[in-house]
Amino acid sequence: MIRSIVVSRRTIAGCLILLLLVLTSCRAEETSKPVIEATAKHETAQPGRLDNEETPDPVIDVNKPLDNETKKTITLSVLSSSRFLELAKAKFESQHPNLTIEIKEYKAAPRPTGNSIQVEEIDPKDLAKYTASLNTQLLSGKASDLIVTEHLPYQKYVDKKLLVNIRELLMSDQGIDRNQYYSNVFEAMNYKGGWYSLPVKIGLQLLIGNRAMIGDTALSDDSWTWQDFIQASQAMLKGQQKGTQTPYVLTNVTPTTLLELFISSSYASYVDAEKKEARFDSKSFIELLNTTKSMFDSKLVTTDHNPYYTNMFEMLNLNQYEDMIYVHQMMYDGNSAYYHVPNGSELQGTAFSSDLPVAINSKSKNIAEAWAFLKLLLSEELQTTKELGGFAVNKLAGAARMEQLLKQNDSGKPRLSLRMEGGKDYTTQPVKQADIDLITKFLEGVGYYAEKDLAVLNIVTTQAAAFFNGQKTAEETAKGIQGKVHTYLNE
């Protein structure tokens, strides 16, 4: 049985939201949680301990039972709430009747209506007001108990001792086995030897390539730089003209957004938050500015919104297991491959993002309760739910989610018939073990957090606009960026 649906292409960094909404509604509602051994297997360890590591003294006694008598309200600040947070709130309050979770959202997120969902871009002005408001609250000691640090320069708050080292709590808690989590994800958040913000879920940042255009070219994407990517693309584009459609490496991207992509994937090359140093006056950054401009001048990339199938690559931020499987199946008529995003540093592995990295306010009077709620967010039970809306950081939950996808093949649920951009029809294919292995490969290969300090990125893109418009040289632009970022880092 096949259901039909029309799907339009989203932005270059987006996912197929409508597709995911339908697929999520079709997911089997199973109460059992079978585990894929290859994903969930880990060494037996003492609960609360990571093998070969000492347990530090935490800020609280994490093994002391919570007070089940005193009524308290635990607050959580987030730009916009979600069904996952609301589900966790209901679950936590049912377990602890004396405790109330108050989700303090700055801007209400659009809610699904029927079989559709609204996708709303964040207004930069709203984002600036939100970050300024939280900054004021933190510095004045009036911030929430829990804080979602997406869009926030959380390292600055660590330097001012405003956030709890969650690593100490996790390693000392005897009721939790840290080995059930993707430790590479948590370790990627390391700052000054601690974990001050933990991602509850992640998205994978990847390139998807058109293998018909790439051909037999061997791309060493495990450690390639943007310069490697550009040189390889130039060679592969030769002789790729297809009728009236001019092929490009990337489309629907502006010089400033391309530069932002370069900086986000190579942030550590230009900003050392711990030392409060910037390197935007370096030779490598000046070359990056010139390279970005030359990619447009040489027509490797374009601002035009060309059909995706004329591109060599698309940038993706994949936020669901289904994303990774079905996008891979249908992009470039199924003749596609995933690649790591290049970067300009020594970082290796899969880049990841998170729209739910959670920190605990060190000035909170409810640290024990805040930690209990964060543990619930990280639990297998909550991480297995479809409401999570991302890749689970709990390996057991991730394994169960993928097992559900395999079992869905035999559930009798209808497959989807999709009409893609350009009128192409596509029908989803059954999930295979090879699909699961591919997801597992990239999750286990997570290497670094695609960090975004919006204040730094705003300085870079604002200053770089004058360069792209021909008003300043690359050297002048780099000098201006360096001065402003240095001032910001040392405020």
Rounded Cα distance, 248 and 236, in Å: 10
pLDDT above 90: residue 126: no
Q: How confident is the model at residue 48 (pLDDT cuts 50, 70, 90)?
A: very low
Element (H, E) at 40: helix 37-40
Which residue pairs, CB below 8 angstroms and at least 24 apart, start in 154-162? 154/191, 154/196, 154/197, 154/357, 154/359, 155/191, 155/196, 155/273, 155/274, 156/273, 157/196, 157/359, 158/191, 158/192, 158/194, 158/196, 161/362, 162/138, 162/361, 162/362, 162/363
Res 311: pLDDT? 87
- Of the two residues 45 and 447, the one the predictor is more confident about is 447
Cβ neighbours for 359, distance < 8 A, ≥ 6 positions apart:
146, 147, 148, 149, 154, 157, 163, 164, 166, 196, 197, 198
Instruction: Check whether 348 has a pLDDT greater than 50.
Output: yes
pLDDT at residue 1 above 60?
no
Which among 17, 23, 62, 26 is positioned nearest to 413, based on CA atoms? Answer: 26
**421 pLDDT tier (thresholds 50, 70, 90):** low
Beta strand ranges found along 288-439 (DSSP E): 313-318, 336-340, 350-353, 357-360, 391-392, 415-419, 425-427
Does the pLDDT of residue 28 top 90, yes or no? Answer: no
- Report pLDDT digits (tens) over 401-417: 999 999 887 655 656 66
R_g (Cα) of the chain, nearest Å: 23
Is the separation of the CB atoms in 450 and 260 below 8 Å? no
What's residue 419's pLDDT? 63
142-180 pLDDT per residue, tens: 999 999 999 888 999 999 999 999 999 999 999 999 899
Model confidence at 41, in pLDDT bands (50, 70, 90)?
very low
φ, ψ for residue 198, nearest 5 deg: -110, 130
pLDDT digits (tens, 9 = 90+) for 429-470: 889 999 999 999 999 999 999 877 888 999 999 999 999 999
**What percentage of the chain carries pLDDT values higher than 90?**
58
Q: What's the CA gap between 211 and 312, in Å, rounded?
A: 8
Over the stretch 196-236, which tens digit does the pLDDT of each residue have?
A: 999 999 999 999 999 989 988 888 888 888 888 988 998 88
